[in-house]
Structure 1
Amino acid sequence: MTRLIDFQHADEATRWRAINDDVMGGVSRGHLHMEDGIGVFSGETSLENNGGFASVRREPEAFDLSKTAGLLLRVRGDGRRYQLRLRTDRLFDGGAYRALFQPAAGEWQQFALPWHEFEAVFRGRRLEDAPPFDPGAIQQVGLLIADRTAGPFRLEVDWLDAMERDETPRRKA
């Protein structure tokens, strides 16, 4: 089975770039690297200088998921809340569609994120008049932590895949 994003491919980590709150004066740091075929999004969030977020984005690649029901994500976390963020050309630069998930500490979990759970946001605020999310127009995938908590974080990502329309969403939170 071919996954949308699979960290078994040695070059996958090179496709991700960090964008942290230092772009706005903060001092949080985060990055993505690989350990034994697993993507690891880790670093430390800081609330200093009105900061508090760290993120990584995968280089642009169009995903046409219009015939799917959402995304499946297999992760092992640290108990903190994360966001899976999707960018399309339907929002202005900086806007994204996000779905929240909070894996239990130290436990591999699979999250089903149906399309209706993705909401349009800009700088942490919901965009009330945003165009509806179009799963056929995904251009970029990202991970973000912005849970208003200072301290280290670690999210291990095994894979990301499409959820078929006939799959029953199994959401663990």
Structure 2
Amino acid sequence: MAAQHIFDFSLESDISDWNVVDDVVMGGRSDGPFQLSPEGHGEFRGTVSLENNGGFSSVRYSFAPMATEGNTHIRIRLKGDGKSYQFRIRHSTGISYSYNHSFDTAMVWEDIVLPLKEFYPTYRGRNLDLPNFEHEHIEEIAFLISNKKPEKFKLLIDFIRLE
């Protein structure tokens, strides 16, 4: 099956459906706004704080269900800051848990390839006793940073594809 574009960023991209969820939802002080960079990339940057039991920042994007049949992985073209992140997927926005895959970044543009079968289920940072991802579609993606330390971060995203 041909690659399916989940999101391609450009100067004309409408990012109004991308939603930031920081630890402020539980009293924390992290801040990770999401915007378009001057070059037209998705830019997720900010500060993770451990104050008030915080420690994470994330940005989510929900979309119409996209079939996974014939696809084996997600490819993300990005430029990181040398830090570790999680990429999360959900097969339904109606469930409370997500399937996660961690990845490390370099300070250069690179393609991160994440096999679908390696995404494991978690809820609020705890692994669940469920099989790894094996669903027929996805309808939400997210980037999350939560390295158990206060830090500044910056992630530039060019595209996200299901391949």
TM-score strictly above 0.5? yes
User: Residue by residue, what CA displacement relative to the aligned partner does 1:12-55 show, whole Å, maximum 9, x if unpaired?
Assistant: 32220111101111110112110112101111000111110000
Question: Secondary structure of the residue that 1:138 maps to in structure 2?
Answer: strand
Amino acid across the alignment from 2:105: P
Q: In the alignment, does 2:68 pair up with 1:65?
A: yes
**1:8 and 1:125, CA in 2 relative to 1: closer, same or farther beyond 3 A?**
same
- Counterpart of 2:98, as a letter, is A
Identity among equivalent pairs (%): 33
| Superposition map of 1:2-21 within 5 A | 3-8=5-10, 10-21=12-23
Shift of 1:11: 3.3
1:134 aligns with 2:134: yes
Cα displacement string for residues 63-120 of structure 1 (whole angstroms, at most 9, x for unaligned residues): 1122101100111101111111111239832x1001111111x211111100122010
Is residue 2:79 matched to residue 1:76?
Answer: yes
Between the aligned partners of 2:90 and 2:137, the Cα distance in structure 1 is: 8
Quick one: distance in 2 between partners of 1:87 and 1:127?
14
Gaps of 5+ in 2: none
Quote the Cα distance in structure 1 between the aligned partners of 2:92 and 2:6: 20
Q: Cα 1:81–1:123, aligned 2, differ >3 Å: closer, same or farther? A: same
Q: TM-score, normalised by structure 1?
A: 0.85
Equivalences, count: 160
Give structure 1 regions of 4+ aligned residues with deviation exceeding 4 angstroms.
none
Alpha carbons of structure 1 residues 149 and 47: separation in structure 2 relative to 1, 3 Å: same
Q: Secondary structure at the match of 2:52?
A: helix
TM-score (norm 2): 0.90
Check the 8 A contact 1:90/1:131 in 2, yes or no.
no
Measure the CA separation in 2 of the matches of 1:90 and 1:18: 15
After superposition, where does 1:76-155 map in structure 2 within 5 Å? 76-89=79-92, 92-93=95-96, 95-104=97-106, 106-128=107-129, 130-155=130-155
Equivalent-residue separation in structure 2 for 1:101 and 1:18 (angstroms): 20
Q: How far apart in 1 are the matches of 2:54 and 2:76? A: 27
| TM-superposed deviation, 1:149 | 2.0
**Structure 1 residue aligned with 2:59:** 56
Instruction: State the Cα RMSD in Å.
Output: 1.9
